[in-house]
Amino acid sequence: PVLVGYGKSAEALVEAVLSESDRALHYSEIQRIILERFSKDLDLRRVSNAASQVGFLYGRGCYGLLKHCSLNYQERLLVCSEIVEIIYDSSSERQWSGLELVEILNERGLGFDGRLSPYTLYVALKDETVIRYLGRSVWAQSSEMSISSSDRISIRQAVKSLILQAGKPLTNLEIKEALLKSRGINSHFQIFPDESIISLGDG
């Protein structure tokens, strides 16, 4: 057993149910399991609200945790990299729907055998700081950022050069410290994997 929450709140009960499940669940199914497992007869709307607070939407009325995402960590990083590039290669006023972005990635051969959807796209982008989530599966450039295509290309080339010169994997901190010696980088600096830069673990 693993402790995932405490108390009798709807959120704690929903998270416990989702943690035990090997798949995302419809909120009506979550309600049934809570009743059977914990003898708590929660209102269906309360279960739905709690599920939206502790989990991610993976389909119409279906909620799950990060572990239920069909894209693994490396695939989510690649999705982030591609989406940031797409969004910043357009007008700063442009807004992008999740479905539109999924279609573009599919055209680029990044559909991951049908595992990429507007739902898994949201999970992949949830912590991305250089783009803004506007709600209703719509994204845009962050109003606090100003990143040009040339800036991204320049930083990517500098990172590749540093790793090649080192002849070994480098941590995020090592790369940042080396870059700061030769150029300025902003507080939102991120390293995105591509065809020649891969992540070998967290950081």
Contact in structure between 18 and 30 (CB atoms under 8 Å): yes
pLDDT computed for residue 148 by the predictor: 47
Residue 140, H or E segment: strand 138-141
pLDDT computed for residue 162 by the predictor: 86
Task: Name residues whose C-beta falls within 8 Å of residue 9's C-beta, 6 or more positions apart in sequence.
Answer: 50
- For residue 132 the two structure tokens come to 């803004």
Q: Which residues pair with 25 in a beta bridge?
A: 63
Task: Write phi, then psi, for 132 (nearest 5 degrees).
Answer: -110, 140
pLDDT computed for residue 91 by the predictor: 78
The residue among 53, 74, 70, 52 whose CA lies nearest residue 61 is: 52
Q: What is the pLDDT along the chain (203 residues), one digit of tens a residue?
A: 788 878 889 999 999 999 999 999 999 999 999 999 999 999 999 999 999 999 999 999 999 999 999 999 989 989 998 898 888 887 777 888 999 999 999 998 999 999 999 999 999 999 888 888 988 889 888 865 554 444 555 667 778 888 888 899 998 888 888 877 655 555 556 676 777 788 887 77
Sheet with strand 62-64: strands edge to edge: 25-26, 62-64, 56-59
